[in-house]
Amino acid sequence: MFSLSNPFIIPPLKLGYSDGKGGITAAHHRFYLPRSRHVGAVALEPLYLDASLREIPTQIGLDDDDKIPGLTALIEAMHGEGAQVIAHLNHPGRMANPKIPGNVHLSSTDRACENGGAVPRRMTEEDMDAAVALFVEGARRAKRAGFDIIELQLGHGYLLAQFLSPAVNDRDDAWGGSFENRARFPLRVVEAVKGAVDLPVIVRLSGDEMIDGGIKMDETIALGRLLAERGVDALHISAGTVCSTPPWFFQHMFVPKGKTWEMAGKVREAIDLPVIAVGRVETAEDVERLREEFHVDYIAVGRAMVADPDFTGKVLGEVDGAIRPCLACSDGCLGGVRSGKGLRCVVNPRVGYDDPEPSAPSKVKKVAIVGGGLAGMEVALTLRGRGHEVTLYEKERLGGQFNLAWLAPGKQSLRGILDYYEEELSRSGVKVLREEADAKGLESGGFDEVVVATGAVPAVPPIEGLRTFYWTEFLEDEHLPREEKVLVIGGGLIGIEIASKLVSQDNEVVIVEMLEEVARGMEAIEKAMTLKKLAAKGTVIHTRYRVSRVDGGRIELDGSPPLVIEDVDRIVVATGMRSRDELSSQLSSKLPVHVIGDAKQVGKAQDAIRDGYLTGRSL
């Protein structure tokens, strides 16, 4: 049985910071050390057991003794910050990345994941023997490297879950069919690891795979009891499968919050083992609810610790300040790893970068920030945190156009970053003026520097006959039409989100997009789920078309072949944005001006916050 200094654990988060050979880098130290200060334990990202079983090219390896020195140095440094360190061992089976040369794909079945991927080879008993040996070798190597705890992945659609799941395991031999047969191979792995090392062993399970015919709670509890009999030290309860239900696996904002907590509570009630709960633990209130309502022993906090390395310290009262919130968007974290850049974060501009601590300035300056969107608020806080005197001008609502982002269906969690910024602006002493700034007032205001963060405005194409149209008004419930025919011109992120809101009220929606692809710039999970929703609602999408003429409710499209859409009630124009900066050219050349965020170049929220942070560090 293991015990931790506090109930918080960081679960295995894919970072993508390795050197391509499975080694530890300085980026791992930068990420893990500050997050090891107020938690009981940290699980490193999933460690590959063989180079042919990688999920991402830049994954940490545990396949050879040459990995031990780098791991030991990292573990000792994390111990110095107060955390125990967990080795998360996983065999991906058919979910090994098919884009990585040399990867092999094995499974209980010879069927590929229904969402795509390589066709696996159905494992023989010799293959199973080899897989068990990989787990045992990995556990022994983890022990030598200095890990404190082993975690075995039996969930999330990876190899051992591919044997457990009745939806995947289609064998008719001793390793398939009944629950007892499907559990044989996973239990064999657990027994072998327990026999090989004297470290505590945690097992991670999907309480429910959230697919028809998959693993459900009754079998999870039955398996948990068998694991308890075999001396497992704790159960870590999650949900979903990376193959079929990635939104549940990643706990995306589009899935209901708290379902995994309920699963953990049921396991805790049924089995006399410590239970770890996980999934969108984002606030102190979430932590309290998990303790009081679900009675879990440990709480895994992942992406909230990416967004704010001091999340648990703030919950425990050991660190002052508001929690910089995770938005559950997966855009920076999952999106960064998928892009090959490594884990990033939309709301935390330092994640994944080699930035030194912001330093106190040699001279305190009086700085004006014009525009209170994400870039403007971030630069204001960064400057103020370094000691500058800061005045922020915003004539409308703080947050700028990001006030619209959280109005799209399923995206209410995005509001959290606006609340955070407003609280921090008030706490930090930034002077916020709810008025429009002009060149004359700025030049006479005694400012040493001006930062222009005035954002962007819609770019409207010249279309014959287009006079009355809408932009984002329909994201707000009071303006949302019902049971009308609406044409959306532009199939990018904004256009698709508006269409999603419209179909929620039974509007007939037609989308026209000049390019071949729609939903460009949308995070992958959000894109898949939103396009699926639109298809189910009968939304018609015309790609490689351009609206050429509007004549009342009759819309003419240029393309091959030309098309006409009749009886349109309303038109939405969402054809992109253009930077808005009239101010910088009006200011005297004697007053230094810095244009940032969308005012400089239209981008995403992550780009705006990063640009604000970098500018704030440099002045």
Q: Tens of pLDDT along 3-50?
A: 899 999 999 999 999 999 999 999 999 999 999 999 999 999 999 999
Segment 392-420 mean pLDDT = 92
pLDDT tens digits, 293-303 = 999 999 999 99
d(CA 567, CA 75): 66
Rg (alpha carbons) of the chain, rounded to whole number = 26
- Closest listed residue to residue 283, CA positions, set 261, 268, 250: 261
Helix axes of 179-196 and 217-229: crossing angle, nearest 10 degrees: 40
Give the pLDDT score at 586. 93
E strands, 105-243, in order: 106-107, 121-122, 149-153, 201-206, 234-238
Q: Which CATH number fits domain 473-575: 3.40.50.2000, 3.40.190.10, 3.40.47.40, 3.50.50.60?
A: 3.50.50.60
- CA-CA distances (angstroms) from residue 74 to 136, 146, 198, 333, 604? 22, 10, 21, 22, 33
Q: For 391, phi and psi rounded to 5 degrees?
A: -120, 130
- Per the annotation, the verdict on 393 as an active-site residue is no
d(CA 377, CA 397): 12
d(CA 267, CA 275): 7
pLDDT tens digits, 413-429 = 999 999 999 999 999 99
Q: What share of the chain is helix, strand, coil (3-state, %, to 5)?
A: 35, 15, 45
**CATH 1.25.40.10 is held by the domain 366-457+581-618:** no
**Is 80 exceeded by the pLDDT of residue 130?**
yes
Contacts for 595 with CB less than 8 Å, ≥ 6 apart: 451, 452, 453, 581, 584
pLDDT tens digits, 451-463 = 999 999 999 999 9
Give the pLDDT score at 220. 98
Give the pLDDT score at 350. 96
pLDDT tens digits, 359-397 = 899 899 999 999 999 999 999 999 999 999 999 999 999
Contacts for 410 with CB less than 8 Å, ≥ 6 apart: 253, 254, 529
- CA-CA distances (angstroms) from residue 132 to 100, 135, 156, 217, 323? 23, 5, 19, 26, 42
Q: How confident is the model at residue 588 (pLDDT cuts 50, 70, 90)?
A: confident
Give the pLDDT score at 161. 98
Give the pLDDT score at 583. 94
Give the pLDDT score at 533. 95
pLDDT tens digits, 72-125 = 999 999 999 999 999 999 999 999 999 999 999 999 999 999 888 899 999 999
Catalytic residue of the set 158, 298, 393, 545: 158
d(CA 480, CA 476): 6
Q: How confident is the model at residue 410 (pLDDT cuts 50, 70, 90)?
A: confident
Strands 554-558 and 546-551, by their bridges, are antiparallel
Give the pLDDT score at 124. 98
149 versus 358: which is more confidently predicted?
149
Give the pLDDT score at 143. 98
Domain with CATH 3.50.50.60 in the chain: 473-575
pLDDT tens digits, 492-549 = 999 999 999 999 999 999 999 999 999 988 888 899 999 999 999 999 999 999 999 9
Domain with CATH 3.20.20.70 in the chain: 8-339
Share of the chain above pLDDT 70, in %: 100
Contacts for 317 with CB less than 8 Å, ≥ 6 apart: none
Q: What would be the CATH architecture of the domain defined by 8-339? A: Alpha-Beta Barrel (3.20)
Give the pLDDT score at 522. 87
Q: Are 150 and 86 in contact (CB under 8 A)?
A: yes
Domain with CATH 3.40.50.720 in the chain: 366-457+581-618
d(CA 286, CA 289): 5
Segment 326-338 mean pLDDT = 89
Give the pLDDT score at 335. 86
Q: Are 609 and 378 in contact (CB under 8 A)?
A: yes
Segment 177-199 mean pLDDT = 98
Beta-carbon count within 10 A of 434 CB: 12
64 versus 475: which is more confidently predicted?
64
Segment 304-322 mean pLDDT = 96
d(CA 237, CA 233): 13
**Is 80 exceeded by the pLDDT of residue 1?**
no
Q: Are 512 and 322 in contact (CB under 8 A)?
A: no
Give SS3 for 249.
helix
d(CA 405, CA 292): 33
Query: Mean pLDDT over all residues of the chain?
Result: 95
**Is 90 exceeded by the pLDDT of residue 338?**
no
Q: Write out the two tokens for 538.
A: 């009968």
